Structure 1
Amino acid sequence: MKVKIDNLSKNIKRAPILVDMNLELEGGKIYGFKGKNGSGKTMLMRAICGLIIPTSGTIEINGEKLGKDISFPRSIGVLIENPSFISNYTGLKNLQVLASIQKKIGDEDIKKSLEDVGLDPNDKRTYKKYSLGMKQRLGIAAAIMEKPEIVILDEPINALDESGAELVRGILWKLRDGGSAIILACHDAEELKFLSDEIYTISEGKIVGHDIVAKETAS
């Protein structure tokens, strides 16, 4: 898995949102995006998802150009901003609807994803009755249930208690170790450092810093 971004720029009403970004991401790593609100983190993630059309520059996923060879990455899981689901469906039913689009997985995979994030597949409560933490867990389950090659999560630990956060960390590390490229944005600098292998700092639509996170090893 490889994502290559060349001279990517995005303007909205002539205002620059992303400016000449160059970036290469590969599978088997977790990448953290750090920056203030409005810095361009979310716009960059949307661009990688194929949800916006760049003003200039290109994004290649495994050698295929977004917007030319493919409209969207072939294997991607996304949670950007607040998760959105059908309010009068259960968590299981919502994921079944999503899974029916690509037909890559069956009910057992869906149930396993719910269990992985700490949700009960047999819970009969509808989404509108979920707590904020449960909604976040369901959003993460939706993003990871098809074991995508690229996972993009905006504030993945948001609204989660410590047990939920611990489950999500384990899921992300497992996906990374399985070869996925994980892209995260998180306002908690310590959490981002704890999760990530590399961190890119973004300011005013530009990449202004790149750090490789040193991990402690057992002696």
Structure 2
Amino acid sequence: MKVLEVNNLHKKIGKKEIIKGVSFSVEEGEIFGFLGPNGAGKTTTIRMLVGLIKPTSGSISICGHDLQKESVEALRNVGAVVENPELYQYLSGMENLMQIARIRKISKEEVLDTIKLVGLENRIDDKVRKYSLGMKQRLGLAASLLSSPKLLILDEPTNGLDPSGILDFREVVKNAAKKRGMAVFVSSHILSEVQNLCDTVAFINDGVIKAVESVVNNSMKTEKDIITLVTTSNKEAVIKEMKTLGFVQSCKITEKGIEIILEANTTSKLVKNLAKEDFNIEEIYKERKGLEQRYMELVEGGIR
């Protein structure tokens, strides 16, 4: 089931068009990454998704409800965690959550279940001012999960967290998505975090989605392959020969050996040519740069 559907979304602020025909959808149980550089349009898109600003044109549907026409019904299905969750520092974690639970008529049993889900059982009665940034992020996540949303929106959720906090938060989000069958929308500019967390990634730049692609085993399909070749032959001779091959785009000597950039799925042709020329090859392997490489291809215009 499609939890979130965005169709041909446009947004103008003054005379400047910020979002230019953005379309994508997020399925139930899917963790969807929204990746792009600062100023690409990520925050503007999120502000439209949560109803803070209206699109100039286009539509947003959440669980079948048009956000423009049925905002209450649509937003009832949404939970969100922004960079710094708003929390009462002088209250305990439990008191913060119970404030929300009373307003939304949520039982204490559901609160306790959510606390367990985010792994705060041992510190939930401490004052929030004593929490680390990672613990505050977990509490903010718990607050957003109390109403059992169908769509969870995370805006730069790991900013400021140390490596341990990032790992913990990632596992909590994956666990929550799996156990509750939520669709999760994650906006970030941190490549490694998106690659390790998401099932699908949309690449946005200058208000335009360049591609929407799947992440499989922490890797992605790329337009080019990068091969490293370790050889005892004359490296200049190898490079000269490689440059005669139409599917090879560039060659250079690096600390590892010879780096060869070639068209995707042409590695076997490269190996055949190397064997034919009888070069002394000690090792040949593919550099699996995954999301980083794909980001450079789509957003930055090529591999650096």
TM-score tier after normalising by the smaller chain length: 0.7 to 0.9
Shift of 1:59: 0.7
1:65-80 pair list within 5 angstroms: 65-71=66-72, 72-80=74-82
Does residue 1:88 correspond to 2:59, yes or no? no
Change over 3 Å in CA distance of 1:214–1:89 after alignment to 2: same
Change over 3 Å in CA distance of 1:142–1:123 after alignment to 2: closer
* Contact 2:83–2:157 under 8 Å retained in 1: no
Distance 1:57 1:130 in 2: 41
1:31-46 pair list within 5 angstroms: 31-46=32-47
* Residues 52-61 or 120-129, more deviating: 120-129
Distance 2:112 2:122 in 1: 5
SS in structure 2 opposite 1:191? helix
SS in structure 1 opposite 2:95? helix
* Number of the residue aligned with 1:119: 120
Distance 1:86 1:109 in 2: 21
1:97 counterpart letter in structure 2: Q
Change over 3 Å in CA distance of 1:122–1:108 after alignment to 2: farther
* Residues 85-94 or 111-120, more deviating: 111-120
Shift of 1:160: 3.6
Distance 1:132 1:171 in 2: 15
Q: Which runs of 5+ in 1 are unaligned?
A: none
Q: Deviations over 1:128-181 (max 9, x none)?
A: 343322222211221223332101112223344455434433332233334211
2:193 counterpart letter in structure 1: E
1:184-203 pair list within 5 angstroms: 184-203=186-205
* Number of the residue aligned with 1:150: 151
Q: 1:208 aligns with which of 207, 210, 232?
A: 210
Distance 2:120 2:182 in 1: 23
SS in structure 1 opposite 2:39? coil
Shift of 1:215: 2.3
Shift of 1:56: 1.3
SS in structure 1 opposite 2:75? coil
Q: Deviations over 1:103-137 (max 9, x none)?
A: 2x322322332343332466544333433222222
Distance 1:41 1:151 in 2: 16
Q: Tell me how many residue pairs correspond in the alignment.
A: 215
State the identity as a percent.
38
| TM-score, length of structure 2 as denominator length | 0.64
* Contact 1:114–1:121 under 8 Å retained in 2: no
* Contact 2:117–2:176 under 8 Å retained in 1: no
Which structure's relative contact order is higher, taking Cα pairs within 8 Å and 6+ residues apart?
Answer: 1
Q: Deviations over 1:181-210 (max 9, x none)?
A: 111123321221111111001111111122
Distance 1:99 1:145 in 2: 7
* Contact 1:92–1:121 under 8 Å retained in 2: no
Structure showing greater Rg:
2
Shift of 1:66: 0.6
Change over 3 Å in CA distance of 1:88–1:67 after alignment to 2: same
* Number of the residue aligned with 1:54: 55
Root mean square deviation, CA, Å = 2.2
SS in structure 1 opposite 2:189? coil
Distance 2:123 2:215 in 1: 40
